[in-house]
Amino acid sequence: VTVTNNSNGVSVDYETEAPMTLLVPEVAAEVVKDLVNTVRSYDTENEHDVCGW
C-alpha cells in the first residue's frame, strides 16, 4: 500500500507478508490512517525528523 501527497510528492509505503489481512476493513483502515498521518507529519515537521528521511 502506498500513500502519496500530490502537493509535495512525499510517498510512504506499507509492506506486509500477509496482504490478505488488508481485506479486513478495520485492518485496511488502520493501515491507511497510519500512512496518511505519516504523510501529514512530514508536511508539518522538519523533513529530517520524520521517519528518518
DSSP 11-31: EEE---S-GGGGGSHHHHHHH
- The tens digit of pLDDT for each residue in 20-34 reads 999 999 999 999 999
On average, the pLDDT of the chain sits at: 81
Q: How confident is the model at residue 44 (pLDDT cuts 50, 70, 90)?
A: low
Mean pLDDT across 14-43: 90
CA distances 37 to 3, 34, 45, Å, are 10, 5, 12
- For 24, half-sphere exposure in the C-beta direction (CA atoms, 13 angstrom radius) is 8
Kindly tell me the burial class for residue 1, based on how many C-beta atoms sit within 10 Å of its own C-beta (0-12, 13-18, 19 or more). middle
Mean pLDDT across 39-47: 67
Kindly tell me if the per-residue pLDDT of 48 is higher than 70: no
